[in-house]
Amino acid sequence: MSDTYTLYNQTVMDHFMNPRNMGDVKDADGIGEVGAAACGDIMKISLKIKDGRIEDARFKTFGCGSAIASSSMATELIKGRTIAEAMNFSNQEVVDALGGLPPVKIHCSVLAEEALKAALEDYVKKHPELAAQINKSEPVAV
């Protein structure tokens, strides 16, 4: 039998097999760790922030293939964005960039959004002077 058949599309498989930005940012400026209520999995994103921009983002994930691919893609997408931009980041962007996820796996991409926002909130908490400047939208309810 060949390996032509895969559970997810090629982009998702690629990000699962060769995840980008896996690991922890050294001396991170913000760290977010969240759990998925649906299946009990865990994702952690750490950020390096310089001059109001995300300079580096890394992830660690305990979860399914979609969760690993989502965190890989999310960290790719947010690098270079300003904090305000990142605060508006949505899981849909991850889903689109991955070329779609099965319906039952959408929540795994939500986990990536939540981990990113938790990391940003962690950063803002450490820098209260920024809170007023950042036009922060309400966290998206899921």
Q: Does 38 bind another protein (CB under 8 A)?
A: yes
Q: Does 108 bind ligand FES (CB under 6 A)?
A: yes
Strand ranges (E), the chain:
30-35, 42-50, 53-62
Q: How far is the CB of 133 from another protein (least distance, A)?
A: 28
Q: Does 27 bind another protein (CB under 8 A)?
A: no
Percentages helix, strand, coil for the chain (3-state, rounded to 5) are 45, 20, 35
Residues 113/89, Cβ–Cβ less than 8 Å: yes
Point out the catalytic residue in the list 22, 31, 39, 42. 39
Which residues lie near another protein (CB under 8 A)?
A: 1, 3, 6-7, 16-17, 19, 22, 24, 33-44, 60-65, 67-68, 104, 107
